[in-house]
């Protein structure tokens, strides 16, 4: 194995899927607004990041790159091993869509907050209040 692929492996291993900075931001905001929630309910499709069981509402906090958002960060595909990344990101999109549909079929309301949206705190607060009303 080459030195660069070993470095890449180390980098990829260090990327978290839970308790990310965007997720922690949304959690602090929702909690500060007085909402109480559960985290990462494994019994629900897609394991939503924040779950409001009494209201039957779930929130996913997606990173733009990993979930192929249509913003500048999400639209780019790494130059190395391009075919792998295209397939991987497409699988992520399919999995996200399947989870949203399954939750909706179970009677849950679902919202997705994107990493790039979190820069506008007022907008996210309005979006949370509207969704959780």
Within a domain: 100? yes
pLDDT of 64 reads: 92
pLDDT of 8 reads: 67
Looking at residue 35, which CATH number applies to its domain?
3.40.960.10
Among candidate residues 108, 113, 114, 95, the one with its CA nearest the CA of residue 59: 113
Tally of structural domains, the chain: 1
pLDDT of 79 reads: 86
Indicate whether 1 pLDDT > 60: no
Backbone angles phi, psi at 109, to 5 degrees: -95, 140
pLDDT of 24 reads: 96
User: What letter would DSSP give residue 108?
Assistant: -
Within a domain: 29? yes
Within a domain: 6? no
Specify whether the CB–CB gap between 60 and 49 falls below 8 A: yes
Per-residue pLDDT band for 26 (boundaries 50, 70, 90) equals very high
Within a domain: 13? no
Indicate whether 63 pLDDT > 60: yes
| Nearest-angstrom CA–CA distance, 121 and 104 | 27
Indicate whether 4 pLDDT > 70: no
């Amino acid at each position: 194995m080459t030195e660069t692929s070993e470095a890449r492996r180390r980098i990829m291993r260090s990327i978290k899927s839970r308790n990310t900075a965007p997720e922690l931001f949304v959690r602090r905001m929702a909690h500060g607004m007085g909402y109480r929630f559960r985290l990462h309910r494994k019994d629900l499709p897609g394991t939503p990041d924040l779950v409001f069981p009494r209201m039957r509402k779930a929130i996913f906090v997606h990173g733009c790159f990993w979930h192929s958002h249509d913003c500048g960060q999400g639209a780019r595909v790494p130059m190395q091993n391009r075919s792998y990344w295209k397939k991987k990101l497409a699988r992520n999109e399919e999995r996200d869509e399947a989870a949203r549909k399954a939750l909706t079929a179970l009677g849950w309301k679902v919202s997705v907050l994107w990493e790039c949206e979190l820069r506008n705190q007022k907008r996210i607060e309005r979006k949370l209040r509207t969704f959780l009303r």
